[in-house]
């Protein structure tokens, strides 16, 4: 268990959980909470014993209502001028981790909360989830989400959602491809846990390399993506896990992977 102010971290077998822990404020995020979530993701990414990461919100009402604008706006517009070279060290600024990340979304998933969900690889929504990117209503920008949402949903639909800032429910999010599936709220945790366990039964290095192929390949011409695949394919066949996978298949037994 890590000592954090706004999040909790716990583990179950090979799964690490990052829980937004400000339920009295609908898990709205001040700047320090953005930093803690991002640091928690990086901590699990560096932990050899964790193979899958789950992000969720505490309480019954929200995954996250987004940035705490009262606190965040002041931190962005006051104080001395500061500049440093760009580094993707926060989830809403392009932070990427090598391990699969699942978002368990219930209740309100708004603004920065939606950006957090969109930064994850897989999104499972409860049937009570309510989404929105309402920043334009407050004359601020939904930056990260505006960049990544068109990769999941049709451009025209994304434009409408971002320019109106209107709310939409879990079923519409599923129809647009923003979430992978919708389940009853009572089944959300079990569904996410089962999915995490299913991923953990696979070769962890192969899972991470597959994520790398997907993320890099979508930004490249097909032939360049195939070059990445060829190099990673050589590496995976040099691992102990690849040998174990072939042996387990031949012996018709479950594989015993070690991430090496």
- Residue positions annotated with a catalytic role: 115, 135
| Pair 173, 152: CB distance under 8 Å | no
CA dist 131 and 166 (Å) reads: 9
Task: Give phi and psi for 55, each to the nearest 5.
Answer: -110, 130
Q: Are strands 108-110 and 101-105 parallel, antiparallel or unpaired?
A: unpaired
The token duo for 257 is 């992977």
Rg (alpha carbons) of the chain, rounded to whole number: 19
CA-to-CA separations, 96 to 3, 81, 136, 174, in angstroms, rounded: 23, 28, 26, 24
Q: Are 67 and 112 in contact (CB under 8 A)?
A: yes
CA distance 238 to 62: 44
- Greatest Cα pair distance, the chain, in angstroms, is 65
End-to-end CA distance of the chain: 25
Q: What is the rounded CA–CA span in Å between residue 106 and residue 128?
A: 6
């Amino acid at each position: 268990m890590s000592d954090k102010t706004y999040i909790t971290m716990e583990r179950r077998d090979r799964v690490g959980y990052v829980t937004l822990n400000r339920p009295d404020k609908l898990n709205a995020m001040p700047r320090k909470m953005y930093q803690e979530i991002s640091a928690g993701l990086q901590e699990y990414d560096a932990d050899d014993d964790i193979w899958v990461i789950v992000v969720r919100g505490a309480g019954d009402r929200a995954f996250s209502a987004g940035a705490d604008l009262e606190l965040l706006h002041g931190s962005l517009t006051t104080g001395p001028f500061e500049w440093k070279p760009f580094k993707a060290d926060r989830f809403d600024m392009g932070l990427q981790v090598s391990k699969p990340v699942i978002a368990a979304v219930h209740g309100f998933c708004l603004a920065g909360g939606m950006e957090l969900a969109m930064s994850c690889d897989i999104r499972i929504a409860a049937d009570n989830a309510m989404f929105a990117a309402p920043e334009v209503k407050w004359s601020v920008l939904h930056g990260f989400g505006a960049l990544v949402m068109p990769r999941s949903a049709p451009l025209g639909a994304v434009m409408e959602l971002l320019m109106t800032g209107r709310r939409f429910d879990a079923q519409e999010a599923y129809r647009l491809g923003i979430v992978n599936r919708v389940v009853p709220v009572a089944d959300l945790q079990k569904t996410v846990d089962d999915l995490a366990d299913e991923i953990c039964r696979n070769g962890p290095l192969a899972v991470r390399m597959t994520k790398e192929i997907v993320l890099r390949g979508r930004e490249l011409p097909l032939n360049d993506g195939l070059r990445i695949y060829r190099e990673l394919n050589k590496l995976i066949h040099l691992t102990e896990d690849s040998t174990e996978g072939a042996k387990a298949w031949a012996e018709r037994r479950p594989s015993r992977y070690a991430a090496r």
